[in-house]
Amino acid sequence: MAMINSQAGAFDLDALAVSDRFRLFGFTRRDDYVAYLWVLRALDWLRAAHVAQAHTDDVAGVLAELAVAYDTVPGNLTSLRGRLDSLADDGVLHRLEDASRAGSLARYRNRQSVYQFSELGHRAYTAVEGVLAARVEDANLSRLVFSDILRDLHGLAEANLAADGEEIARRLTSLDRVMDDMARRSARFHLTLGDITRSTDASPETFLRYKHALLAHMSDFMVELDRYLPRLAAAVARVESTGISTLLNRAAEVDERPLMRHDEVLDDWQRRWAAVRAWFSAGSGESRAAELAAATRAGVSSVIALLRQITEAQRSGVNRATQLRYLAAWTVSTAGEDAAHALMGAAFGLRSARHLGGVHEDSELISPRLPWADAPGIEISVTLFRRGKAPTSGVPQRLQAADGIRAELRRRQAARRAAEQAAARELLSAGLGDRVLDEGQTQVLLALLTRALEARSVVAGRITGGSDGNDVMTIRLVPSPHGSVIRTEHGVLHLPGLCLELGSARAGLLRRGDG
């Protein structure tokens, strides 16, 4: 949670902004990326010497000095201006025109460009240098930071009680820096521990050489974390008891970032405190420190299990490398290629691919020239997929007597038919007029009206009326300029240009609904 909060700005970028920032690393994908790296190192050396804007002559001079100290500097960097322009196109550098460097009219007419790092460009360069300078041996779990965190939390509570906004900002900044460092150290250490446990088959001697120091380091960290965790949780609670909203507002008031609005600064301080609280205050779930303790215990267990495995392998003389060598020897000594393939398949659990196929329900819709990758898929039965056998209908099953179900269905059908007939009789006797039809009458009328509308035909270019009926009543649609209006419980139904007439199924039409 803490790392997600600290990187919320990166997650909020849209695709276009992400594309622009990835373009800053374009120099790492060029053919002569080493030359570009040394050019950026020269610019960074000038930046450290407070030369913000550098000319190509300045960069060439620094590269000559670096070539004396480092053998990996390219001997002759041709087209230095072109490389600087490429870096400027990628956004790593800013290109400016400096006419004051022109000592003569001829030089003034030529382009006098100076270059300086952009803010994001320098971050991209330092990120690349950080990856190149990273060493696996540096990974560690810092147990000394807990006392610093506890001291900052106590100082933060005292500063809030004293209404010292500047001290609050200093303490929060120190906490944010220490927490970020601890999160990065712990994540890096456990990643390195996973690499060590995966690479012991190739170099078990390296693991055995450092096993005692590794176990002692993790054990000391666990002891220190268990000792400080209750005190840190109590310190977080004490800070919040002094008024966390007041504390964050005071920190935002003395914040020295002029390019951010007050609400943005306050939101940033809230995210920072939420990250600190997530580390040491359990809240509704487990704290990040408790998760780190559980991961470290699991790491100790994995190291001990790996140590036992290596010790037993060395005692018996059989390890992964020995097994692979014996398997290779057996494979070479087999009678033929089929036996070698069978042996390797049994050793590594390899099986031949099972290809399934079938015929589409409508094969005429699919062109025979359509590639199989673009053709639509078909349904494959589970029996064919799991056992390789096509499904069959099987043995005919016994017919189950369902007299009770049939009787219940007949009863429901008779009841529904009786209700429809009763609603039709009531509708026929009362007519339409200005009355409001209930639910049953509305359903009967809509069913007959739908069939009557579908039965209409065109005669001499005009649509004639339609009719339909049941065993109780009939309806007829007659063209009329006034139309019809039918009122129901759900609203008013208008039939423009049609007059609705109701009649008995035997005696003819009796009722008419006019608008």
pLDDT tens figures, 274-297:
888 888 876 655 777 777 777 777
Instruction: Read off the pLDDT of each residue in 399-404 and give the average, rounded to a whole number.
Output: 76
Question: Residue 196: what pLDDT?
Answer: 67
Which of 62, 106, 65, 97 shows the shortest CA–CA distance to 80? Answer: 62
Question: Residue 109: what pLDDT?
Answer: 45
The model's confidence at residue 5, banded by pLDDT at 50, 70 and 90, is: very low
Instruction: Read off the pLDDT of each residue in 441-460 and give the average, rounded to a whole number.
Output: 80
Average pLDDT, the chain: 78
Instruction: Read off the pLDDT of each residue in 213-222 and give the average, rounded to a whole number.
Output: 78
The model's confidence at residue 197, banded by pLDDT at 50, 70 and 90, is: low
Mapping DSSP to helix (H, G, I), strand (E, B) and coil, where does residue 19 land?
Answer: helix
Structure tokens at 454: 């579908």
Question: Residue 3: what pLDDT?
Answer: 44
CB-based burial of residue 444 (10 Å sphere; 0-12 exposed, 13-18 middle, 19+ buried)?
A: buried
pLDDT, tens only, 476-493: 888 888 888 888 888 888
CA geometry: angle 494, 496, 502, nearest 5 deg:
70
Instruction: Read off the pLDDT of each residue in 119-138 and give the average, rounded to a whole number.
Output: 82
Helices 165-198/262-280 angle, 10° precision: 50
The model's confidence at residue 146, banded by pLDDT at 50, 70 and 90, is: confident
Is it the case that residue 4 has pLDDT exceeding 50?
Answer: no
Instruction: Read off the pLDDT of each residue in 42-71 and give the average, rounded to a whole number.
Output: 85
Instruction: Read off the pLDDT of each residue in 232-250 and give the average, rounded to a whole number.
Output: 88
Q: What percent of the chain has pLDDT over 70?
A: 81
Handedness of CA 132, 137, 139, 144 (dihedral sign): negative
Question: Residue 511: what pLDDT?
Answer: 44
Among 93-107, 270-284, 375-389, the minimum mean pLDDT is found in: 93-107
Question: Residue 431: what pLDDT?
Answer: 80
Task: Give the whole-angstrom CA distance, residue 511 versus residue 24.
Answer: 83
Amino acid (one-letter) located at 4: I
Q: Where are the alpha helices (DSSP H) in 118-164?
A: 119-133, 145-161
The model's confidence at residue 357, banded by pLDDT at 50, 70 and 90, is: low
Instruction: Read off the pLDDT of each residue in 90-97 and give the average, rounded to a whole number.
Output: 86
pLDDT higher for 373 or 109?
373
Among 49-63, 68-82, 412-426, 460-474, the minimum mean pLDDT is found in: 460-474
Question: Residue 6: what pLDDT?
Answer: 46
Question: Residue 202: what pLDDT?
Answer: 44
Among 22-26, 69-73, 216-220, the minimum mean pLDDT is found in: 216-220
Highest mean pLDDT among 21-35, 174-188, 304-318, 452-466: 21-35
Long-range contacts of 131-140 (CB under 8 A, 24+ apart): 136/192, 136/195, 139/185, 139/188, 139/189, 139/191, 139/192, 139/193, 140/185, 140/189, 140/217
Contact (Cβ atoms closer than 8 angstroms) between residue 46 and residue 58: yes
Among 105-114, 224-233, 379-388, the minimum mean pLDDT is found in: 105-114
φ and ψ of 71, to 5 deg: -80, -20
Task: Give the whole-angstrom CA distance, residue 54 versus residue 117.
Answer: 10
Is it the case that residue 8 has pLDDT exceeding 70?
Answer: no
Handedness of CA 367, 369, 374, 377 (dihedral sign): positive
So what's the architecture of 2-133 in CATH? Orthogonal Bundle (1.10)
End-to-end CA distance of the chain: 69
Amino acid (one-letter) located at 146: F
pLDDT higher for 445 or 212?
445
What's the Rg (C-alpha) of the chain? 42
- C-alpha to C-alpha distances, 507 to 288, 426, 472, nearest whole angstrom: 86, 16, 10
Relative to beta strand 436-437, strand 484-488 is parallel
Task: Give the whole-angstrom CA distance, residue 342 versus residue 318.
Answer: 24
Question: Residue 27: what pLDDT?
Answer: 87
Which of 285, 279, 289 shows the shortest CA–CA distance to 239? Answer: 279
Rounded to two decimals, what is the model's pTM? Answer: 0.44
Structure tokens at 70: 């480092």
- Give 293's contacts (C-beta < 8 A, 6+ positions apart): 222, 225, 226, 229
Ramachandran class of 461: left when φ > 0, alpha when ψ lies in -120 to 50, beta otherwise = left
Contact (Cβ atoms closer than 8 angstroms) between residue 147 and residue 228: yes
Is it the case that residue 209 has pLDDT exceeding 70?
Answer: no
- C-alpha to C-alpha distances, 319 to 53, 79, 323, 332, nearest whole angstrom: 60, 55, 6, 20
Q: What percent of the chain has pLDDT over 90?
A: 1
Task: Give the whole-angstrom CA distance, residue 62 versus residue 132.
Answer: 21
- C-alpha to C-alpha distances, 228 to 18, 75, 186, 293, 441, nearest whole angstrom: 40, 55, 17, 12, 78
Mapping DSSP to helix (H, G, I), strand (E, B) and coil, where does residue 436 land?
Answer: strand
